[in-house]
Structure 1
Amino acid sequence: QSIDYELEGGSIETDGVGSLLTTTHCLLDSNRNTGWPQAEVERLLLDSLGLQRVLWISEGALIGDDTDSHIDNLVRFCSADTIAYITCSRREDVHYEPLQRMAEQVKALRQADGTPYQLHAIDLPEAQFDEAGKRLPGSYVNFLILNGSVLVPVFGCLQDAQALNTLQQCFPDKKVVPVPGSNLIRQFGGPHCATMQLPAGVFV
């Protein structure tokens, strides 16, 4: 079925049991879909993807992100009841206040039955810059979930170890594997951005 709506894979995140996470900045941005009210976008997602509900995040953005805040750089489902999200512990960083506001929204999210999610905050890596001095959108939550492992971008800084340890708690039945993230963020992405996931039984 063809649907006249522009949607990138990194702009939506599902838990596999009917809930979808996304950002208002991306899905309602006029760069993509001019004139779509939020209620109509939500109905389109529910009907087209077989969902029960859409969870909207309206705060949080990364400097250098050219996607209008794809959710896969900000907040991710690790399982149906577990969420990992980025935060910033450094008050001098421009991301500190926006990500504090985003954290409050994440903490207010509930599972479909009203139960709070298990939440895991992951600190941003130290600021990453390109050769021209422009800040790049480094994020540990742009990980890629595979059958038996999780590929996590790392940036050669102090926050790497904490991020890997936290994500190993989020995925106790998988092996968390660090992969170099610096080259991918020079193209404004990470492992999740650079790949397409195909369900079992799908042929290319």
Structure 2
Amino acid sequence: MSTGEPSPARRRLPAEWEPQGAIQLTWPHDQTDWAATLDQVHPVLATIAATISRYEPVLIVARDPEHIEEISGFLSEAAIQPDRLWFALAPSNDSWARDHAAITVLEDEKPRLLDFVFNGWGGKYPAALDDAITRALASQGVFGACVPEPVDMVLEGGSIESDGTGTLLTTSRCLLTPTRNPALDRAAIEQRLEQYLGASRILWLEHGQLEGDDTDAHIDTLARFCAPDTIAYVHCDDPQDAHYPELQAMEAELRALRQPGGEPYRLIPLPWPDAIIEDGHRLAATYANFLIINGAVLLPVYGDPADRVARERLATAFPGREVVAIDCRPIIRQGGSLHCLTMQYPAAALGIPQE
């Protein structure tokens, strides 16, 4: 019998493999930490943008009109599809759109853009400009009638993985770091993930960390949903490697996880590339930082024999999608990889033309 009251809205965080309207890239420039390596980074970004444009639109955030002109030259050389390219203007501290861009949830299957606080991964780096990018894009009509909603909570897109049906995968090392939300304990964090993202289950990993990673163990460097029943993860089988104890412990945790119906997850181990050392420090080369787009998966590779193995294994998780390898060696010098550079939006959350 109806009470006459409206039913509560159903909210969920869509999975990355669901239909997308565009991918955001925040382009690096000479006022960022990329300045010394821009000549190597620009071609990689251009390749990423051109590859995405084969499947869906690309939204590029540029510093100013002169920056747009510079970027357009790189994209022309990369043969980007111009009818799938849009620019917006905003000053930026860095280029990690995964963490400073809005997070889209669906409420009764209609998009809502959540503008969480970005504080430079717990105050490690300046982030005020990056934190304002979503508001700048909204003021330029990028999101059309979908107005971003400010959320007084620090949360980065790279720190959460969604299966699209209410389950989130994350790490305690990141979300419980006191430099992000010092007033919130695990229970309070879970309550807010339920409130804002519609999470009905939160799977916490207590282990997993990569050298060269400044994010406090973002889940998108370690383990990723490929389907509601499938997780691809970083696997280290070298007992001499410093990562071996942590990643073996993480693998045991993943094996113990269960789907909502009680079944174990199908686990796909991604290989471990040889160490890439620069200035005496190991860089965070991870195959888990792949990007799922319409019709394809973009896989970061590192000029390593394991690149081929990673591509073959990931292809088994995404039948019907092309797996495209992108050499990301210049990118990992700044601590992230391919997925970290990007953020997807559904078409209904955008004010840019759609096909």
Same fold (TM over 0.5): yes
Q: Percent of pairs identical after alignment?
A: 48
Matched letter for residue 31 of structure 1: T
Return the offset for 1:173: 1.7
Structure 2 residue 263 is the aligned partner of structure 1 residue 115: yes
Higher deviation after alignment, 95-104 or 32-41: 32-41
What is the distance in 2 between the residues matched to 1:77 and 1:163?
15
Name the counterpart of 1:44.
192
Aligned to 2:238: 90
**Partner secondary structure for residue 151 of structure 2:** coil
Tell me whether 1:54 sits opposite 2:202 in the alignment: yes
Shift of 1:184: 1.2
Give the Cα separation in 1 of the matches to 2:258 and 2:204.
12
The one-letter code sitting in structure 1 at the alignment partner of 2:343 is M
The separation in 1 between residues aligned to 2:238 and 2:320, in whole angstroms, is 32
CA drift of 1:140 comes to 0.1
Write the distance in 2 (CA, Å) between the matches of 1:185 and 1:199.
28
Cα distance, 1:21 vs. partner?
0.5
Code of the residue aligned with 2:247 in structure 1: it is L
Aligned residue in 1 for 2:225: 77
* C-alpha distance in 2 between matches for 1:194 and 1:88: 25
What is the alpha-carbon distance in structure 2 between the residues aligned to residue 175 and residue 145 of structure 1? 10
> Shift of the alpha carbon at 1:192?
0.7
Amino acid at match of 2:226: C
- SS of aligned partner of 1:142: coil
Q: Secondary structure of the equivalent of 2:161? A: strand
Does 1:139 find its partner at 2:286?
yes
TM-superposed deviation, 1:160:
0.9
Backbone CA RMSD of aligned residues: 1.0
Determine the structure 2 residue equivalent to 1:158: 305
Q: Unmatched 5+ residue regions in structure 1?
A: none
Residue of structure 2 equivalent to 1:101: 249
From 157, 166, 173, the equivalent of 1:25 is: 173
C-alpha deviation, 1:2, in angstroms: 2.9
TM-score with structure 2 setting the length: 0.56
Q: Greater share of helix residues, 1 or 2?
A: 2
Partner of 2:275: 127
Match of 1:84, SS state, is strand
The 1-side partners of 2:300 and 2:240 are apart by 24
Q: CA deviation at 1:200?
A: 2.4
Distance across 2 between alignment mates of 1:100 and 1:123:
13
- d(CA) in 1 for partners of 2:320, 2:178: 41
Looking at structure 2, the residues matched to 141 and 125 of structure 1 have their Cα atoms a distance apart, in angstroms, of: 12
Q: Match of 1:6? A: 154
**Could you say what secondary structure the match of 1:3 adopts?**
strand
What's the counterpart of residue 127 of structure 2? none
> Where do 4+ consecutive residues of structure 1 move more than 2 Å?
none
SS in structure 2 opposite 1:182? Answer: coil
State the 1:3 CA deviation. 2.3
Match of 2:339 in 1: 192
Instruction: Map Cα deviations across residues 64-101 of structure 1 (whole Å, 9 max, x no partner).
Output: 10000000000100011110000111111000111000
